[in-house]
Amino acid sequence: MPIPAVDTRALTRRFGSLTAVDSLTLSVESGEIFGLLGPNGAGKTTAIKMLVTLLPPTSGNATVAGSDIVRQQVAVRHAIGYVPQMLSADGTLTGYENLLIFAKLYDVPRSERVGRVRDALGFMGLDGAADRLVRGYSGGMIRRLEIAEAMLHHPRVLFLDEPTIGLDPVARQAVWEHISRFRADWETTVILTTHYMEEADALCDRVAIMHLGRVVASGSPAALKGSIGKENATLNEVFAHYTGDILESGGTYRDTRRTRRTARRVG
Amino acid sequence: MTQEERVAQHAGSVSLLRRGWRLPFAAAGQFVLKALVIAELEARKLRHDPSELLTRAVQPALWLLVFGQVFTHIRAIPTGDLPYLDFMAPGILAQSVLFIAIFYGITIIWERDLGIVHKFLVTPTPRAAIVTGKALSAGVRGLSQAVIVYALAAGLGVKIEWNPLALLGVIAIVILGAALFSTFSLIVACLVKTRERFMGIGQVMTMPLFFASNAIYPIAIMPGWLRVIARGNPLTYEVDALRALMLSGGSSTYGLGLDFAVLVVATALLILIAGHLYSKVAI
Ligand SMILES: Nc1ncnc2c1ncn2[C@@H]1O[C@H](COP(=O)(O)OP(=O)(O)O)[C@@H](O)[C@H]1O
Ligand SMILES: [Mg+2]
């Protein structure tokens, strides 16, 4: 049996009295695009941070690409790519420099470095902007640069935390296409979080819906929609069905700006 | 055990032994390489925007031109055979390196808020190597200050020692001094966590470090309690070494060996602590 890309057992993280992630148990197969879905505060970022070794779990355990996230952190770090929720490319460097530095940090062999950086820039449609300071990039370009950065070392598992937060619909569409193509070309497992239902619907093979730190439902988008016994249900309705809550999604320009600011603050 | 088996076993243990020897070297090599990548990153940033280095020239210029000239004139501070300006020039070099290093930690808070720290931390880079790279790049900034202070001091008639070995010594001390105080600053940043608190504490830290040292007056004229503090202040040893290396005919009070040892040990200790704290910044 192939080793799952991600396997968690009762993974839990508390902050004081708050349980941000409550006994998360899930298994993601190699090559899947898996979505963690839920509103702000559901615990998605906390779960991702534990899986990428940034945050020690309070209890439970997990493996990523077969390595334990607490005891084999270096092996996990070699196997993963990670794009944090915040737009985090270094604005005072060019796109090319951002990638070059990470190629070095990820031990990409010297002879392949420049080639991989150029390929990644090309793949993400950023050749033209490579030598400009990232400060002048649009949000969508920064996101694509960050995804390029996270795939330089051909990771087996790629973690994307809210990859399209704060992007306009066109930029969001472009990021979706790149993620799909990336998975197809590299057979990388992709784990992403989102609070946009359309995003999960468009991209993910399977999703787990999180609410207040717990998974309330999981399965393929189609199966979840089928499970609530309503024809042509949207994932929004699925969410409402399982949580009794309304999930705001989409939203006005003002909302997006606000999410983007919160995104910068929290993460 | 047959002869062959014995030979094979022996060969095995030899190669194990060799590997055992090589492992620490390989790890140390990796550590240095990664630290240099981080330093390269900072150097590239500086190259895109070197204006920071120029604005930093104003403060040492004021100290040397105004304070230095005036105090040389009134002979208020006993500095033996050295003119006061010569006495203070190494002190002002140490000071400007200190000022550039002591606020360096704020970049960590920034990078945390931007998510940049998170991305460094998920790479297989050892934490202490990241911190060492940052310390080295503070050293590069410090060297730019050294160039400015040397130019000012030479212009004002300070008798500079141009012996290449002495210059190399100054480079080493400046990098060490910058590394030491920037890492200290990083530790403070990791502990206080917000920009506002850090800026407040930065202001409060700088002046005592500067005044409780031999930078602009000899320790001998200090009251007893201040003398004790100054002797524990690493800046004193940095200034002491710079006075010996920068000035023609300069001499060190504590001995260059002790000066270097204090700076190296303190820096190494701080890097260990900072590496530990840095990995918790992203939580
Ligand atoms: N470092 C932290 N300290 C205290 N509480 C935190 C911290 N990080 C997250 N939380 C809390 O944990 C909960 C889950 O947050 P998060 O994982 O960021 O959710 P999401 O990414 O789904 O929006 C929230 O209530 C948040 O306030
Ligand atoms: Mg989040």
Q: What is the pLDDT of residue A150?
A: 93
Distance CA A226, CA A246 (A): 19
How many whole angstroms from A143 Cα to the centroid of ligand 1?
A: 22
A14 Cα to chain B: minimum distance (Å):
12
Residue B184 pLDDT > 70, yes or no?
Answer: yes
Q: What is the pLDDT of residue B8?
A: 45
Which residues are bridge partners to A6 per DSSP? A28, A64
- ipTM tops 0.90: no
Q: Is residue A96 part of a domain?
A: yes
| pTM, to two decimals | 0.87
Give Cβ neighbours of residue B227 (< 8 Å, ≥ 6 apart): B219
What's the mean pLDDT in B20-34?
Answer: 83
Q: Is the CB of A33 under 6 A from ligand 1?
A: no
Suggest the residue from A105, A113, A157 to mutate for an interface test with chain B (most B CBs closer than 10 A): A105
B51 contacts in A (CB within 8 Å)?
Answer: none
- What are A156's two structure tokens? 């087996």
Note whether B282 contacts A149, CB cutoff 8 Å: no
How confident is the prediction for chain B on average, in pLDDT? 89
- What are B124's two structure tokens? 């297989």
- For chain A, the three-class secondary structure string (H helix, E strand, C coil) is CCCCCEEEEEEEEEECCEEEEEEEEEEECCCCEEEEECCCCCCHHHHHHHHCCCCCCCEEEEEECCEECCCCHHHHHHHEEEECCCCCCCCCCEHHHHHHHHHHHCCCCHHHHHHHHHHHHHHCCCHHHCCCEHHHCCHHHHHHHHHHHHHCCCCCEEEEECCCCCCCHHHHHHHHHHHHHHHHHHCCEEEEEECCHHHHHHHCCEEEEEECCEEEEEECHHHHHHHCCCCCCCHHHHHHHHHCCCCCCCCCHHHHHHHHHHHHHCC
Q: What is the pLDDT of residue A185?
A: 85
Instruction: For residue A43, give the ligand 1 atom closest to its CA.
Output: 17
Question: If you take atom 1 of ligand 1, which residue's CA is the nearest one?
Answer: B283
User: How many distinct structural domains can be found in chain A?
Assistant: 1
Q: What is the pLDDT of residue B6?
A: 45
Q: What is the pLDDT of residue A54?
A: 96
Neighbours of ion ligand 2 (CB under 5 A): A 44-45, 85
A265 contacts in B (CB within 8 Å)?
Answer: 113
Note whether A92 contacts B123, CB cutoff 8 Å: no
What's the mean pLDDT in B123-150?
Answer: 94
Residue B5 pLDDT > 60, yes or no?
Answer: no
Q: What is the pLDDT of residue B276?
A: 94
8-state DSSP, B160: B
Q: Is residue A20 part of a domain?
A: yes
How many whole angstroms from B47 Cα to the centroid of ligand 1?
A: 37
Scored b (16 or more CB within 10 A) or e, A232-265 reads ebebbbbbebbbeeebebeeeeeebeebbeebbe
Distance CA B239, CA B245 (A): 10
Percent of chain B topping pLDDT 90? 67
Note whether B115 contacts A86, CB cutoff 8 Å: yes
Least confident of A154-163, B61-70, B168-177, B187-196: B61-70
Name the pairing type of β-strands A206-211 and A214-219.
antiparallel
A159 Cα to chain B: minimum distance (Å):
11
Neighbours of A144 (CB within 10 A): 26
Q: How far is residue B247 CA from its own chain's centroid?
A: 20
Range of the domain at A27: 6-266
Q: What is the pLDDT of residue A247?
A: 57
Residue B39 pLDDT > 80, yes or no?
Answer: yes
Least confident of A209-223, B19-33, B170-184, B191-205: B19-33
Note whether B119 contacts A80, CB cutoff 8 Å: no
Q: What is the pLDDT of residue B1?
A: 45
Q: Is residue A1 part of a domain?
A: no
Q: What is the pLDDT of residue A184?
A: 85
Note whether A87 contacts B115, CB cutoff 8 Å: yes
B266-271 long-range CB contacts below 8 Å, 24 or more apart? Answer: B266/B180, B266/B234, B267/B135, B267/B176, B267/B179, B267/B180, B267/B183, B270/B180, B270/B183, B270/B184, B270/B187, B271/B128, B271/B131, B271/B132, B271/B135, B271/B179, B271/B183
- Residue B142, SS3? helix
A143 contacts in B (CB within 8 Å)?
Answer: none
Residue B42 pLDDT > 70, yes or no?
Answer: yes
Q: Is residue A218 part of a domain?
A: yes
pLDDT bucket at B19, cuts 50 / 70 / 90: low
Q: Which of A145, A42, A47 is nearest to A93 (CA)?
A: A145
User: How many distinct structural domains can be found in chain B?
Assistant: 1
Range of the domain at B187: 3-282
- Residue B79, SS3? coil
CB–CB contacts below 8 A, A to B: 72
Distance CA A63, CA A69 (A): 6
Q: Give, for B14, the enclosing helix (H) or strand (E).
A: helix B3-48
Give Cβ neighbours of residue B16 (< 8 Å, ≥ 6 apart): none
Note whether A82 contacts B122, CB cutoff 8 Å: yes
At B92-131, the pLDDT tens digits run 999 999 999 999 999 999 999 989 999 999 999 999 999 9
Give Cβ neighbours of residue B47 (< 8 Å, ≥ 6 apart): none
Q: Which residue in chain B is spatially nearest to A106 when comparing CA positions?
A: B123
- Count Cα atoms within 13 angstroms, Cβ side, for A179: 33
The CA-based angle B4-B6-B8, given to 5 degrees, is 70
Q: Which ligand is nearest to the CA of B280?
A: 1
List the single residue in B37, B48, B118 with the smallest CB-CB distance to A93.
B48
Q: Is the CB of A84 under 6 A from ligand 1?
A: no
Note whether A264 contacts B114, CB cutoff 8 Å: yes
Segments in chain A below pLDDT 70: 1, 245-267
Question: If you take atom 10 of ligand 1, which residue's CA is the nearest one?
Answer: A20
Q: What is the pLDDT of residue B146?
A: 95
